[in-house]
Amino acid sequence: MKAYTLIFLMVLVPLLIFSQAEQLNRSALSARVMAIDYGTPNNADLTTTFGLEIAYRHLFNDYIGLAVPLKFGVADVVGNSGNRNITSLDLLAHLYPMKNHNKIAPYVLGGIGYVVENLDGGNAQIPLGAGVNIMVGANSFLSIQGEYRISTQENRDNIHLGIGYLYQFGQIDTDGDGVTDGNDDCPEIFGPINTNGCPDSDNDGIANSKDACPENAGPIETNGCPDADGDGVWDNNDNCPDLAGLKKLDGCPDMDEDGVADINDLCPEVAGAIDMDGCPDTDGDLIHDGIDKCPDEPGVEEGNGCPYADTDGDGVIDEEDMCPETVGLKSMNGCPDADGDHVIDSEDRCPNTPGPYTGCPDTDGDGVIDADDRCPEEAGLLTNKGCPEIREDIREVLKLAMRAVQFETNSAELKEGSYAILDQIRAVMAEHSAYKLRISGHTDNVGDAGKNQYLSEQRAYACYEYLKASGVPETMISYAGYGEDYPITSNDTADGRLLNRRVEFDLIIE
């Protein structure tokens, strides 16, 4: 009994001294009903009992508080045939991770307490738990709390679950705006007194939540919105905020009084019909004078109010004439067809020669139209642009020329024996006028690469000049030198180097 009295005094006396110094709005009292369970923590089949808790709480700041609960109840404990009366006093720290003044404020708790059983003995206990306070009024909260209590005495660990009521003394001002939460329409948002604690960004005496224009000051008659032109339509809804107008026209004037606001009226000084954008329709063609290019003459919409036109005079009106500025045929939608093959000239690949293939014939019947056929009178291959494949005997001439064309050593001067084969190539070109001849010079890798490049170019050029001088049009021949870049065999042997020193002649179709 002495131990119980000593602990009670050690806790209560400092608490009473502290409570006298605290600010009133930091204090609270609570009462809750508890369920008490000594069975579950001690693995015993015991009855759940009940008790009552009365507590005092003090808040140091938004996150930390101190509570002193006094509890009375009965407990079914291990080793006793009947329930025992219990009385306890605790000193608990409360931690509010989401601030203690929210409408829903969860917290965790921990501390130390002393429990007396039947006033003849007791044990120290360490309560650990959590709870939540739910605001139900300006100063009233529903309080729910659970504890697990670890005892210094064997078989005395227990669980408390409680629900009750907490009253916060004084007036709470959560947002610190001078308006207590009970009178504050916006208790968690700072605001002036004249708007009941709600923000008023434009300082017009109307809270933002009720202000139709919270960023622009205005009178209460226009829901807090300005009306610069004084026409009774506030600027947010006024399509003409700087011009006094009519409410029915969203604040805009109507100079000609035709029911169409001047900003939308294409004829603002002449009264017209609403469905004609405020303009009259003088010629009655249903195209109003504001856009009618011929307001005194009935016309059509496609002509911007003017009658249909036929610019080229071919009997097909411009709106239907695919070639309005060129005389054409009605059957061709006003476009010309010079060769009469039913393909208009603008789309006819061969406008002056009738043909079934995009307006072109295929004279040699090889599937390549004359417009694309390099050999239009001689059947050939599609892959060869309509020309026949090069005959094998001609391929042999070109292949022979690669070896037969010879030059003086380290020189681009043709040997006399080369002329005969070049003359054969000239004859081939005369027979194949659709082809072009590509002359390519090559060397071995002996000597300086730059000199070899120059020599290959000069040897190709020598053949080019001979053929041109022999009558082959220069548009049909081209030349290039490649030096030692493209050997056809190894340069490691004399025979290989001989083969690599060559001039190639290729017939190509461009």
Per-residue pLDDT tens for 384-398? 787 888 889 889 999
In a domain, 43, yes or no: yes
> What count of other Cβ atoms lies within 10 Å of the Cβ of residue 331?
10
In a domain, 374, yes or no: no
Radius of gyration over every alpha carbon of the chain, rounded to an integer in angstroms:
54
- Among the ranges given (146-150, 202-206, 431-435), the one the predictor scored with the smallest mean pLDDT: 202-206
Report the run of H or E that residue 94 belongs to, with start and end: strand 84-95
Q: What is the pLDDT of residue 57?
A: 96
Which residue, 114, 148, 168, sits at the end of a domain?
Answer: 168
Do the strands 64-75 and 84-95 form a parallel or antiparallel pair, or are they unpaired? Answer: antiparallel
Do the strands 122-135 and 158-168 form a parallel or antiparallel pair, or are they unpaired? Answer: unpaired
Q: What is the pLDDT of residue 386?
A: 78
**Strand, helix or coil for residue 455:** helix
Which residue, 117, 150, 168, sits at the end of a domain?
Answer: 168
**Cα 299 from Cα 275, distance rounded (Å):** 19
> CA-CA distances (angstroms) from residue 422 to 427, 502, 505, 506?
9, 14, 10, 13
β-sheet bridge partners, residue 477:
437
Report the run of H or E that residue 49 belongs to, with start and end: strand 49-59
Q: How many residues does the chain have?
A: 510
**Cα 277 from Cα 294, distance rounded (Å):** 17
**Cα 144 from Cα 132, distance rounded (Å):** 5
Which residue, 120, 147, 168, sits at the end of a domain?
Answer: 168
Where does the pLDDT of residue 74 fall: very low under 50, low under 70, confident under 90, or very high at 90 and above?
A: very high
CATH, residue 124: 2.40.160.20
Given CA atoms 7, 13, 15, 16 in this order, what sign does their dihedral have?
Answer: positive
Domain span at residue 501 reads: 392-508
Closest CA to 174 of 187, 192, 183: 187
Give mean pLDDT, residues 479-487: 95
Contacts of 20 (CB under 8 A, 6+ apart): none
Q: What is the pLDDT of residue 25?
A: 60
**Cα 467 from Cα 54, distance rounded (Å):** 122
In a domain, 39, yes or no: yes
What are 385-389's contacts with CB under 8 Å, separation 24+? 385/434, 385/509, 387/432, 387/434, 387/435, 387/509
Given CA atoms 6, 7, 12, 15 in this order, what sign does their dihedral have?
Answer: positive
Closest CA to 208 of 227, 186, 183: 186
Question: Based on the structure, what is the number of domains in the chain?
Answer: 2
Give mean pLDDT, residues 57-70: 94
Where does the pLDDT of residue 86 fall: very low under 50, low under 70, confident under 90, or very high at 90 and above?
A: very high
pLDDT tens readout for residues 395-447: 999 999 999 999 998 899 999 999 999 999 999 999 888 899 999 999 999 99
CB 171 within 8 A of CB 139: yes
Tokens of 50: 């009940």
Q: What is the pLDDT of residue 332?
A: 87
β-sheet bridge partners, residue 316:
none
> CA-CA distances (angstroms) from residue 309 to 299, 325, 329, 451, 465?
10, 11, 16, 73, 63
Give mean pLDDT, residues 38-57: 95
The residue that leads in pLDDT, 38 or 269, is 38
Closest CA to 449 of 405, 404, 490, 487: 487
In a domain, 106, yes or no: yes
CATH, residue 447: 3.30.1330.60
Q: What is the pLDDT of residue 21?
A: 37
Where does the pLDDT of residue 166 fall: very low under 50, low under 70, confident under 90, or very high at 90 and above?
A: very high
The residue that leads in pLDDT, 79 or 470, is 470
Q: Which residue shows structure tokens 């005092």?
A: 56
Tokens of 144: 């729910």
**Cα 505 from Cα 509, distance rounded (Å):** 13
Strands of 374-476, DSSP E: 436-442
Share of the chain above pLDDT 70, in %: 93
Give mean pLDDT, residues 140-156: 95
Do the strands 104-117 and 502-508 form a parallel or antiparallel pair, or are they unpaired? Answer: unpaired
Tokens of 395: 């391929």
Strand arrangement, sheet containing 477-481: 477-481, 436-442, 502-508
The residue that leads in pLDDT, 461 or 119, is 461
In a domain, 228, yes or no: no
In a domain, 450, yes or no: yes
Q: Average per-residue pLDDT in the chain?
A: 85
In a domain, 249, yes or no: no
**Strand, helix or coil for residue 160:** strand
Among 47-51, 229-233, 243-247, 306-310, which range has the highest average pLDDT? 47-51
- Among the ranges given (87-96, 294-303, 451-460), the one the predictor scored with the smallest mean pLDDT: 294-303
Where does the pLDDT of residue 293 fall: very low under 50, low under 70, confident under 90, or very high at 90 and above?
A: confident
State which amino acid sits at residue 486.
Y
pTM for this structure? Answer: 0.39
In a domain, 238, yes or no: no
